[in-house]
């Protein structure tokens, strides 16, 4: 399993009116880390042949993050099902390792010309093992 991650620091623009990270911002981070993982693993010549779209997000908020918290965002593929990639993302406080957010996303692979689902090729799956 290929785990991909990065560390970020919470800024003022990430906060809501309660001075916690906004739920929408967590969703943006889920999408950003997923995209970054794909771009790191797959060469541009291959990635241009495909298009990923979200089919479903399931997000659980465990704890809040606040201004200046350092967060570790990690992602990996749980499983492949035909055109679907089931991806897990967790966001932890980098200092305490406390789980803040966990998310599972179903991404569907499409042909960018026809917009029809295509089975994830074996050579792509192997890049994420």
CATH topology of domain 4-126: Thiol Ester Dehydrase; Chain A (3.10.129)
Sequential pLDDT tens for the chain (129 residues): 899 999 999 999 999 999 999 999 999 999 999 999 999 999 999 989 999 999 999 999 999 999 999 999 999 999 999 999 999 999 999 999 999 999 999 999 999 999 999 999 999 999 998
Rounded-to-integer distance, Cα 9 and Cα 125, Å? 31
Rounded-to-integer distance, Cα 84 and Cα 33, Å? 17
pLDDT number for residue 76: 98
pLDDT number for residue 124: 95
Enter the pTM of the model.
Answer: 0.94
pLDDT number for residue 28: 98
Q: CB-based contacts of 42: which residues, under 8 Å, 6+ apart?
A: 124, 127
Sequence spans of domains, the chain: 4-126
């Amino acid at each position: 399993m290929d785990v991909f991650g990065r560390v970020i620091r919470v800024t003022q623009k990430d906060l809501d009116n309660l001075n916690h990270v906004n739920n929408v911002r967590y969703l943006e981070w889920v999408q950003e880390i997923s995209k970054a993982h794909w771009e790191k693993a797959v060469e541009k010549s291959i990635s241009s042949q495909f298009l990923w779209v979200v089919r479903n997000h399931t997000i659980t908020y465990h704890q809040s993050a606040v201004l200046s918290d350092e967060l570790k965002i990690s992602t990996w593929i749980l499983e492949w099902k035909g055109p679907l990639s089931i991806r897990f993302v967790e966001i932890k406080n980098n200092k305490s390792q406390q789980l803040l957010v966990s998310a599972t996303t179903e991404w569907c692979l499409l042909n960018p010309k026809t917009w029809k689902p295509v089975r994830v090729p074996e050579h792509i799956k192997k890049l994420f093992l």
